Chains A and B, each alone.
Chain A
Amino acid sequence: MQTARRKRFSGARAKENFHSWLIMLPGLALMTFFVWEPLIESIRMSLYKTRNVELVRFIGLDNFISVINKDDFTQALTNTFSYTFWSLLIGFVLPILLALLIGETVRGKSFFRTAVYLPNMLPGLAVIILWSAFFSGEKSGVLNILLGHLNIPPQSYLTRYELVIPIIIVIATWKGAGATALIYMAGMAGVNPELYEAAAIDGAGVTRRIWHILLPAIRKLAGTLLILQIISVFQIMYEPMVLTKGGPDNASLSLMQLMWQYAFGGSMNYGKASAVAVIVTLILLIMTAIYSYFNRRESDWD
């Protein structure tokens, strides 16, 4: 009796599952074809000696060893972490501040919401070209013209080692902060207004309300956005590629750009390019795992 019921149950479940799988099938097929297959192929390619996209012979970890032992890899790795550092320093808090400011604005909230999001609607390359005119070291550079009015002689920006990564991050933040701010605003909108009212009755000012109610409420969202930002910045490529071409002397070369150089920069070494790609993936996996570990522990404590 029980067996018959179980059979009926599992039959219904299988039918239900069948429909679920059927719905998922196109998505799975696309994922397999466009995500998993290339991923596995690039891991395979990283273990082979290649002639363009042909696999010539299996060489184990030689591509990884060769790539890691080169100075430009060390430089690109350091730069990529530097990008991440500057991005967190400049670009992590700014969207929260923007969201708070716009959230506290009484008049013209829609205008400010649109205004901060506007740079995000511009094509990425157009933004880079726009800012390259701003930071041009020639006399005709916009920033130099502005400084000229203060009797400051023309300066170079994009050819200076110490400035080039912060400048690229400023540009990336200018473009992306508005979109992140909108996500924070949505998160802040979900906070129970009764909490504010209660705090106001208890005599809490704006600062204390933000500190004790708003920020704890968006902490998890901020954590998620933090890891997404790290993943995104770790894959930074087109900004340095267009603005500085990785220079001066590789000072703004990122890991993704190095990968591009191996594959398409004249050498067509897809094996080494794949090795760099696998290394980037591993680093990001480790960072995501660390984040997930702490996040889970925090959830357990909650």
Chain B
Amino acid sequence: MNRFFRMISLLLALCCLLNAAGVSAIAEEAVDADLTCTITLGNWPADTAPDAEKALFEGYRAEMAKQYPNVTLVPDYYSYTLSNYVPMAKAGTAPSIFQPPFTDPQLLISQHLVGDVTDALSEFGVLDKFSPSYVEMLADENGRIYGLPRDGYVLGMHININLFREAGLMTEDGLPKYPTTLQELAEYGQIIREKTGKAGLVFPASETYGGWLFTNIAWNFGCVGDSALEYQDEDGRWICNFTSPECVAAMEYMRDLRWKYDILNADATTTDWAGAHSLLGTGEAAMNFAADDSVDQPTANKGLAVEDFALIPFPAGPAGRYALAGGTCYMFAPNISADQGKALMAYLKIIGKLPFLDDEIIAGMRADYAAKRDRGAPVLPAISAWSDADYNAAKQAIIEEYSNVDMRLYNDFFDSISEGTIALRSEEPVFAQQLYRELTAVIQRMITREGADVVKALTKAQESFQEYLDDEINDF
């Protein structure tokens, strides 16, 4: 009997030892086993997503479970739009993390519809690694941070080289002779129209897209500083300024593109962002104002061969060279707790969206670039939203391994950013979407009515937007 008890005691002791060893192994892998909360993750891949993508996210989930065993991840297929987000935020059902474009953060922050993650960012040591322009976009007036950049882009111009070749606009090196100024854009576009019968420029002038692109043209005509499209006066009131000589000149240029040079696509007023990429990719238009983050649209998605595609800097105007820097960010539900904030930062670190590199993140990046190359999308240097030099250099080295393009077709674009020959600007500071809508209406009038009065149309739009500013900010 004694022997039996001795055996049992020995077995129990062994079990305890093994158990303790196991616990300590888990504890070693766990980064924070005490962190206990639930986070809901928007933009989780749907069941219909490619298997590789689903597997990637399942891998993130497994890694999160390993490092933070008491954090529960709830996948959510939610995809952000302003209209669907507001009711969810008010009802307390918004996912803990979601991905709005850079046009919306300031609006969401001003309306108290997003959560503050300043403390969580600080805890992860990345607060000072933000590119300053992104801090401006994602913080309130007290410097509290409400979001993180997911990816950044700079607006330039997509080129369909086939149409340039057909129009005889090629250099001796076999590169497209692309426009460096807005005046050249009009002239080259005219040559393309005459030689090929296709649109020199596709301009999506529907909804808010037209105004969005037009702000870039307006900056290049001098709508910056004292002549900015909107500014704050000494009393802090927001003033709309569409009738400055610079803005009028920019709008006259838009009108000329249609009536003097006739380089625009036929249905500009109904063309949207996707439609513009489609027209360029299918050879219906030679140039499109677009950014480095959408180079897969005309190529991989619409069949334009990578070698027939180029990305060039935004053409300069009479008052300088400016281009929009924007992108998509991560933002957080307004009701997240401090623990949830911490868990969300941990998740972003695991998926490689914080400026840290480890073996798994590098493997993920390699897989991503390999997939891009396989489906015929250009693999290009990334415009980093982080100001961490080591991180950016390491990332660039990996990208170069997978490059599938002749960089001569892209160098001017990237050099203009790194060498500072183009001034990057963020979107207009307040109610950008409404501003774009007002300007789009003016553009539509200019390109559909030959004798339209530029000053009259801009004055009307200015009055309308000023009333909006008074209503929503100045006299709220």
Are B471 and A66 within 8 A (Cβ)? yes
Residue of B whose beta carbon sits closest to that of A265 = B437
B296 at the interface (CB under 8 A from A): no
How far is A158 from B444 in the complex, measured between Cα atoms in Å?
Answer: 12
Contact A266 B437 (CB under 8 A): yes
The distance in angstroms between the C-alpha atoms of A278 and B90, with both chains bound, is: 23
Which A residues touch B472, using CB under 8 A? 267, 269
A69 vs B437: C-alpha distance in the bound complex, in angstroms? 18
Determine the distance from Cα of A141 to Cα of B208 in the docked complex, in whole angstroms.
24
> Is residue B120 contacting chain A, with contact meaning CB distance below 8 A?
no
Complexed CA–CA distance, A133 and B9 (Å) = 81
- For residue A245, CB closer than 8 A to chain B, the reply is yes
Q: Which residues of B contact A245 (CB under 8 A)?
A: 206-207, 269-270, 272
The answer to whether A244 and B270 have CB atoms under 8 Å apart is yes
Interface flags for B74-92 (1: CB within 8 Å of A; 0: not) read 0000000111001100100
Q: Would A268 and B270 count as touching, CB distance under 8 A?
A: no
Interface residues of B in 420-456 (CB under 8 A from A): 431-434, 436-437, 440-441, 444-445, 447-449
B208 adjacent to A268 (CB under 8 Å): no
The reply to whether the CB of B284 lies closer than 8 angstroms to some CB of chain A is: yes
Q: How many residues of A sit at the interface, in one of the four size bands?
A: 35 or more
Q: Mark B271-294, 1 if CB is under 8 A from A, else 0.
A: 010000001000010000000000
- CB proximity of B474 to chain A, nearest CB, Å: 13
Q: By CB atoms of chain A within 10 A, which of B197, B207, B449 has the most?
A: B207
Partner of B86, one of A66, A261, A268: A268
Residues of chain A within 8 A (CB-CB) of B437 are 261, 265-266
Bound: A159/B267 CA distance, A: 6
Q: Does A220 sit at the interface, judged by CB under 8 A?
A: no
Q: Give residues 36-79 of A contacting B (CB, 8 Å).
A: 49, 51-54, 56, 66, 70-72
Determine how close the nearest CB of chain A comes to the CB of B196; give it in whole angstroms: 11
Cβ–Cβ contact A159 & B83, under 8 A: no
Tell whether B407 is near chain A: CB-to-CB under 8 Å: no
A264-B82 CB under 8 A given contacts A52-B111, A161-B448, A249-B441? yes
Determine whether B249 belongs to the interface, using a CB cutoff of 8 Å to chain A: no
Q: Does B467 contact A (CB under 8 A)?
A: yes
Query: Is B113 an interface residue when CB atoms closer than 8 A count as contact?
Result: yes
B-side contacts of A159, CB under 8 Å: 266-270, 447-448
Q: Which of B197, B266, B437, B460 has the most CB of A within 10 A?
A: B266
**Is A176 an interface residue when CB atoms closer than 8 A count as contact?**
no
CB distance B433 to A265 under 8 Å?
Answer: yes
Provide the residues of chain A in CB contact with B265, threshold 8 Å.
138
A187: chain B residues within 8 A (beta carbon): none
Asked whether A52 and B86 contact (CB < 8 A) given A139-B197, A161-B448, the answer is: yes
Asked if B266 contacts A249 (CB within 8 A), the reply is no
What's the least CB distance linking A36 to chain B, in Å? Answer: 19
CB<8 Å pairs between A and B, sample of 23: A56-B476, A132-B270, A136-B266, A138-B266, A138-B267, A139-B197, A154-B266, A158-B267, A158-B269, A159-B270, A244-B206, A245-B207, A247-B270, A247-B440, A248-B445, A248-B447, A250-B441, A263-B83, A264-B81, A264-B83, A265-B208, A266-B431, A268-B82
Residues of A within 8 A of B (CB): 49, 51-54, 56, 66, 70-72, 132, 136-141, 154, 156, 158-161, 243-250, 261, 263-269
Closest 9 CB pairs of A and B: A266-B433, A137-B266, A264-B83, A248-B269, A245-B206, A249-B444, A247-B269, A249-B445, A248-B448
Q: A132-B270, A266-B103 are in contact. List 15 more A-B contacts (CB 8 A).
A: A70-B464, A72-B441, A156-B266, A159-B268, A159-B448, A160-B448, A243-B270, A245-B272, A247-B205, A247-B440, A248-B444, A249-B445, A250-B441, A266-B433, A267-B468
